[in-house]
Amino acid sequence: AWLKHQTSPFKDKDGFEREVVRHVETTLARSLYNCDESAAYAACALAFRDRLILEWNRTQQRQTFADSKRVYYLSLEFLMGRALDNAMLNVGQKDLAKAGLAELGFRIEDVIQQEHDAALGNGGLGRLAACFLDSLASLNYPAWGYGLRYRYGIFKQEIIDGYQVEVPDYWLDFNPWEFPRHDVTVDIQFYGHVVKSTDESGKTVCRWEGGETVKAVAYDVPIPGYDTPTTNNLRLWSSKAASGEFDFQKFNSGDYESSVADQQRAETISAVLYPNDNLDRGKELRLKQQYFWVAASLYDIVRRFKKSKRPWKEFPDKVAIQLNDTHPTLAIVELQRILVDLEGLEWDEAWNIVVNTFGYTNHTVLPEALEKWSVPLIQHLLPRHLQIIYDVNLFFLQSVERQFPNNRDLLREVSIIEESQPKMVRMAHLAIVGSHKVNGVAELHSDLIKTTIFKDFVEIFGPDKFTNVTNGITPRRWLHQANPRLSELIASKTGGKGFLTDLTLLSKLELYVDDKEFRKEWAEIKYANKVRLAKHIKATTGVTVSPSALFDVQVKRIHEYKRQQMNIFGAIHRYLTLKAMTPEERQKQLPRVSIFGGKAAPGYWMAKQIIHLINNVGAVVNNDKDIGDLLKVVFLEDYNVSKAEMIIPASDISEHISTAGTEASGTSNMKFVLNGGLIIGTCDGANIEITREIGENNIFLFGNLAEDVEELRHAHLYGQHTIDADLARVFDEIERGTFGNPQDFAGMVSAVRDHGDYYLVSDDFHSYLETHALVDEAYRDQEQWLTKCITSVARMGFFSSDRCINEYAEGIWNIEPLVVDRDK
């Protein structure tokens, strides 16, 4: 509705074209006659950027004027992907732009493709933050994101001779979506020491002095909501030397090298995104990034609050801060430091404000991903913060001692400090103690944190502090933008585009599940999406795949717990089975394409081995004349958000096959089903809620349950386990050298066969193969398959990030939308 009432800079196609031409000729200083696709992208992006700025300013003014409570989402990762398509759709002017660009001689798809992904994240956690920003704006919540402006996002992946090669992702060459705010800067202190003194009243005061200073500069990115004028802000901090360009004192005294070195050291802080997904490595630079970002953000938030001249105790009435995992946990300590050391509040009063301000979201139970920082490192980098952490811990342990007297084991278990050599600060414990709510991201995950890693804290704080908010995804990007034809078809049956803001309206599709014409269009759309992907596969890998084969997709970060190794072992098993058949038997088999994609952390040796094996299997299978179209195995290079938008709509079945109890939620599972694909998966993460919503007839579940994992692992370690016979056959073939030098894959094989099979590949392999056989059988009945797909989409309403954000707003943040008068 608002779309009809919007204001300048362009109202119609001609107005849009004028703006594009103006930007080409003036901003870009080019003539229209040598305007290529990249210039057309730049001009189009600038035109839409102008379009966003007005509403962006108005939104900020409106929120300040209304004195609304705001939520600040602190995340080290925002995996935004491309912005132009999203901006055009959210302001409702893509059709107009398409027509305008066509008149200027461009296809809008080609123009959109010119944009570089904003890839400031690793995977699920970063993409979730991006979906949340979209929902917050679309639902008119006053909200800001705070993150780091990395010069290099997640590396680009090239596959060379079957191996992953990492290439730097320099993405800032031309970025029209950010606005440097050179006037919004914060000086951030590191190192130094603490000076204790006594004030007039005899109170002890601490001051943090000395050390070095780095400047944080704000860069703002507008976040437009869908079909609403609300345009929120994402503020990303960039580091630079505090002295400006470089230290002229040093320069003039001849110490040129060290003045340049100072500058480079400062800029290093925001130089690169750490490429670890679900893995923590205690590097000093990473801790510097965390404090730099947290301190700048809090300074900014506190500065805004102080302008209101309200008493400090009202801080939590105006500010909610959500910690996306433990990465920003130092914010808890920093706010306590500001209130006590700088603003002179009493400890208890300050702590009360802190706890009421923060919420903490946990995204993993994997022990190797739980952040710990060594006490000596924090002591060195942030001496005052370490003191505060010790005090927080002391008061916390004292209260535990009062509640549960004489329980030393309990104190040791819940302490924020791990008494190891060296001592470590357990960031999750600090986050729990310093927040009023702790949530997991899917039901099973939230139950697991309450009964395993955080169970003692449930005893101490009571069960109400711990809650579940099942993840969601934005239907704007993951349906409307990624799959425009399906979105249009759905709109035609559900009474317009309302489902994009109320996804439960998808349920109306069930009325049409038997409608012949509708089914035919649905099937045509899926086929067209598969044709598009087949072309991409041909162009990037040289492999020809048939769009009528079953497309079986697993795209996500490569990790042993996600079990891509089980998938490729399954593909090898299929290959061996086909090879053993007579040509007549073979003819009856269902053609399949196994599609993989995903990055391995550069130091994750096993993950890289998995990528190598997938590529080598592809090289053999794809060139085997006996096999032909019956099996193709492809690895798609450099999986990222914009590739996901093409791959997901083309899937028939996707794999979400983590060892039960290890994948906190998963969010691509939701994207695949929303796009009319089915899934094969374990009883893990959000697969469980997906099953509950769409019905167990519409999902292929297999494997052991989370509750059995411990016992199975035990059996492996004590030799009470014989390896699955089909899997042993696969290992034999690898060891015969069929897929290249067996030495290259010895680690993968022995992890399962000889070293305890921690991820239970062998235990689940049989049921995995059986379930794939059921998938084949089901796919042969195309009509029934289609019914399953349509029914599933109709029942996916729950998984909108809008639902998820409303749950956070009500249950954790206590914020309300700032509704806009649409006619103004």
Q: Give the catalytic positions in this structure.
A: 363, 556-557, 562, 667, 671
What is the token pair recorded at 262?
Answer: 């100072």
Nearest to 287 by CA among 425, 88, 104: 425
Q: Considering the complex, what minimum distance in angstroms separates the CB of residue 662 from ligand 26M?
A: 8
Between CA 497 and CA 695 the distance in angstroms is 26
The pair of three-digit structure tokens given for residue 407, joined into one six-digit string: 């329980």
Calpha distance 700→650 (Å, rounded): 18
Q: Which is nearer to ligand 26M, 81 or 666 (CB)?
A: 666
Q: Minimal distance in Å, beta carbon 538 to ligand 26M?
A: 32
Considering beta carbons, is residue 323 or 631 the nearer one to ligand 26M?
Answer: 323
Residues listed for the chain: 824
- Do 325 and 331 touch, CB atoms closer than 8 A? no
List, in sequence order, every residue forming a beta bridge with 63; answer none if it has no partner. none
CA–CA dist 787, 767 (Å, integer):
25
Cβ proximity to ligand 26M: between 277 and 733 the closer is: 277
Closest separation in Å from C-beta 289 to ligand 26M:
9
Residue nearest to ligand 26M (CB): 124
> Contact residues for ligand 26M (CB under 6 A)?
122-125, 128, 274, 276-281, 286, 325, 363-364, 369, 441, 471, 663-667, 685
Work out how close the CB of 612 gets to ligand 26M at its nearest, in angstroms, rounded to a whole number. Answer: 23
- Alpha-carbon gap, residue 159 to 541, rounded angstroms: 10
CB atoms within 10 A of CB 577: 16
The residue (of 176 and 275) whose beta carbon lies closer to ligand 26M is 275
Report how far residue 145's alpha carbon sits from residue 74's, in angstroms, rounded to the nearest whole number: 6
Q: What is the closest distance, in whole angstroms, from the C-beta atom of residue 657 to ligand 26M in the complex?
A: 13
DSSP conformation class of 652 = S
CB of 364 to ligand 26M, least distance (A): 5
List the beta bridge partners of residue 165.
158
User: Hey, what are 628's tokens?
Assistant: 């032909």
Question: Cβ neighbours of residue 78 under 8 Å, at least 6 residues apart?
Answer: 118, 120, 121, 126, 129, 130, 133, 145, 147, 234, 236
* Token pair belonging to 524: 């045509």
β pairing state of 231-241 and 143-148 = parallel
Element holding 90 (H helix, E strand): helix 84-90
- Closest to ligand 26M by CB, 471 or 659: 471
**Least distance to ligand 26M, CB of residue 660, Å:** 13
In the complex with ligand 26M, the residue whose CB is nearer, 130 or 550, is 130
Min dist. Cβ of residue 598 to ligand 26M (A) = 13
- Our CB check for ligand 26M shows the closer of 276 and 704 to be 276
- The SS3 assignment for 282 reads coil
Structure tokens at 343: 């603003």
Nearer to ligand 26M, 238 or 361 (CB): 361
How far is it, in rounded angstroms, from Cα 470 to Cα 805?
A: 10
CB atoms within 10 A of CB 38: 13
Dist. CA 448–CA 366, nearest whole Å: 11
Give me the DSSP letters along 324-350: ESSTTTHHHHHHHHIIIIIT---HHHH
Terminal-residue alpha carbon distance, the chain:
12
∠ CA(718), CA(724), CA(729), 5° rounding? Answer: 130
Tell me the closest approach of the beta carbon of residue 439 to ligand 26M, in angstroms. 10
Nearer to ligand 26M, 222 or 661 (CB): 661
Query: Which residue, 81 or 176, has its beta carbon nearer to ligand 26M?
Result: 81
| Nearest CA among 751, 775, 651 for reference residue 702 | 775
Give me the least distance between CB of 276 and ligand 26M, in Å please: 4
